[in-house]
């Protein structure tokens, strides 16, 4: 969990020059035909080494001492051995993301063990939320630290849940801690990631005042932080040599699982799923940063879709009429309309309606045109004839999407009727209205 930090803040081949250096799975190669005016390092090209599995890639970049003889590390190795299903479950949650995170770690030339940190933080769950602290996302950013690292939080979007953005921010934050405060010491940087640099720095100052060592293993830190680094090192030791510890780890192929695509403006997520030929649930799982039914009205980064659907998505999006992609519609104010009532009708916060329409007050005049979300009124009107059933009881495994399709509704229609977000999780026994 990230807490706010204090304000201190070669081989030579005949006929060609080739430099091949293995750096965590990256091969650097200088071509002999590079223009003379270019510097040697500018002529280097990056070539990724191929591996059979992500575990092989990760092991190739491990550089930390796992300290398996340390009793604190040994205790966590024994815990993992006693709870094999915990690791199995987390590996499955990491499946879509681990290769991406490992490559980001590799590109920064930092220890591959850092790619395992989300195992400790969130069990590799991008939507994880700490019940008390407010830390959120795969990397468990606290709100203030997320803001500091440029992770937007709005009605539409939470960058702490965006795996691409949050991974970049977390790795940058860790590296900054390591170089600014700890002279390159990764264990101290990891401790600061968990407890905050102020806590670690005070512990070091206290140890120094008592003429004691100031490395991680000798500091007196909060209980969670005392376990934090040993837990990561124990996991790293098991990943490095699972057979040695009598454990088996499911293979994750070293293959790209998702692709980044540009939406060129706001895009309804249900529409994005149709364009990609996949399900809304899969689009939401790959893009957990989006909190509503659509991407943001502006300033969107790439949308993630299954890698094998990229070409189809881009072709379908290019041929999509502009009128079919706008998730906002124009509403003409009628006599007696109140802005608060309109906001409730379209299931949007009042301040969002005001901001989208550049309103400085809630006063309206008849005939005035507003932008409001979606096509809620048309959707509700068209839903009634197709839904003779008034209510449905949620069964185990039901989702908004599956219930909507069974009753001739879109997911957003069903969510709007029940004053829900399309991201909400249903619970067995819950009653949903269909009109």
The residue-averaged pLDDT of 66-71 equals 97
pLDDT tens, position by position, 133-184: 889 999 999 999 999 999 999 888 999 999 999 999 999 999 999 999 999 9
DSSP codes of every residue in 100-163:
HHHHHHHHTT--GGGGGHHHHHHTT-TT-B-TTT--BTTTTB-HHHHHHTT--B-SSBBGGG-H
- Banded model confidence at residue 1, pLDDT cuts 50, 70, 90: low
What CATH number has the domain spanning 375-435?
Answer: 3.10.350.10
- Banded model confidence at residue 52, pLDDT cuts 50, 70, 90: very high
Give the separation between CA 142 and CA 134, rounded to whole angstroms: 6
Q: Residue 26 — φ and ψ, nearest 5°? A: -110, 130
Q: Quick check: pTM over 0.75? A: no
Instruction: Collapse the DSSP code of 225 into the 3-class scheme (helix H, G, I; strand E, B; otherwise coil) and give the result.
Output: helix
Judged against a pLDDT cut of 70, whether residue 11 lies above it is answered with: no
SS percent in the chain: helix, strand, coil, step 5: 45, 10, 45
Instruction: Collapse the DSSP code of 29 into the 3-class scheme (helix H, G, I; strand E, B; otherwise coil) and give the result.
Output: strand
Assess whether 314 carries a catalytic annotation.
no
Per-residue pLDDT at 48? 59
Q: Do domains 48-245 and 328-373 have the same CATH topology?
A: no
Give the separation between CA 70 and CA 54, rounded to whole angstroms: 27
Quick one: tokens of 165? 């953005």
Judged against a pLDDT cut of 70, whether residue 88 lies above it is answered with: yes
Residues 6+ apart with CB under 8 A from 272: 263, 283, 295, 303, 305, 313
What CATH number has the domain spanning 48-245?
Answer: 1.10.530.10
The residue-averaged pLDDT of 102-113 equals 97
Instruction: Collapse the DSSP code of 260 into the 3-class scheme (helix H, G, I; strand E, B; otherwise coil) and give the result.
Output: strand
What CATH number does domain 328-373 carry, 3.10.350.10, 3.30.360.10, 3.40.50.80, 3.40.50.1240? Answer: 3.10.350.10
Give the separation between CA 12 and CA 3, rounded to whole angstroms: 49
pLDDT tens, position by position, 207-260: 999 999 999 999 999 999 999 999 999 999 999 999 999 999 999 999 999 999
Per-residue pLDDT at 123? 96
The residue-averaged pLDDT of 257-270 equals 93
Which run of H or of E encompasses 361? none
Domain range list for the chain: 48-245, 258-324, 328-373, 375-435
Residue matched to tokens 């499955």: 92
Judged against a pLDDT cut of 50, whether residue 371 lies above it is answered with: yes
Which is catalytic among the residues 121, 148, 260, 314?
A: 121
Judged against a pLDDT cut of 80, whether residue 380 lies above it is answered with: no
Q: Residue 290 — φ and ψ, nearest 5°? A: -80, 125
The residue with greater pLDDT, 319 or 155, is 319
Quick one: tokens of 6? 């204090």
């Amino acid at each position: 969990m990230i807490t706010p930090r204090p304000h201190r803040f070669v081989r030579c081949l005949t006929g060609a020059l080739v430099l091949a250096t293995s750096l965590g799975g990256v091969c650097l190669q200088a071509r002999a035909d590079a223009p003379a005016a270019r510097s040697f390092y500018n002529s280097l090209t990056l070539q990724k080494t191929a591996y059979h599995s992500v575990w092989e890639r990760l092991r190739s970049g491990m550089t930390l001492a796992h300290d398996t003889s340390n009793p604190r590390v040994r205790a966590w190795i024994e815990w993992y051995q006693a709870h094999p299903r915990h690791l199995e479950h987390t590996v499955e949650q990491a499946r879509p993301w681990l290769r991406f995170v490992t490559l980001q770690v590799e590109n920064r030339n930092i220890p591959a063990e850092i790619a395992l940190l989300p195992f400790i933080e969130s069990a590799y769950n991008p939507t994880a939320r700490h019940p008390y602290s407010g830390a959120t996302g795969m990397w468990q950013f606290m709100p203030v630290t997320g803001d500091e690292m440029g992770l937007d939080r709005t009605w539409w979007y939470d960058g702490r849940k965006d795996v691409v953005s949050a991974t970049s921010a977390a790795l940058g934050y860790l590296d900054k801690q390591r170089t600014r405060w700890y002279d390159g010491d990764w264990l101290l940087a990891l401790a600061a990631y968990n407890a905050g640099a102020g806590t670690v720095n005070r512990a070091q100052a206290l140890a120094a005042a008592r003429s004691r060592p100031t490395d991680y293993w000798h500091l007196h830190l909060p209980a969670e932080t005392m376990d934090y680094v040993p837990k990561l090192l124990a996991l790293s030791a098991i990943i490095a040599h699972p057979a040695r510890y009598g454990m088996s780890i499911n293979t994750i192929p070293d293959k790209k699982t998702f692709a980044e695509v540009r939406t060129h403006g706001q895009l309804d997520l249900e529409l994005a799923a149709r364009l990609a030929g996949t399900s809304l649930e899969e689009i939401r799982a790959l893009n957990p940063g989006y909190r509503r039914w659509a991407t943001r009205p502006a300033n969107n980064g790439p949308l993630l879709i299954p890698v094998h659907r990229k070409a189809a998505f881009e072709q379908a999006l290019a041929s999509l009429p502009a009128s079919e992609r706008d998730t906002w519609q124009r509403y003409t104010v009628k006599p007696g309309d109140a802005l608060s009532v309109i906001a409730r009708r379209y299931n949007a916060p009042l301040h969002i309606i005001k901001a989208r329409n550049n309103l400085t007050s809630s006063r309206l005049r008849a005939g005035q045109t507003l932008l409001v979300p979606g096509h809620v009124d048309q959707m509700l009107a068209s839903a009634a004839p197709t839904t003779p059933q008034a209510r449905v009881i949620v069964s185990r495994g039901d989702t908004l999407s599956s219930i909507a399709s069974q009753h001739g509704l879109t997911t957003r229609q069903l969510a709007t009727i029940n004053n829900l977000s399309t991201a909400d999780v249903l619970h067995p026994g819950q009653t949903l209205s269909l009109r």
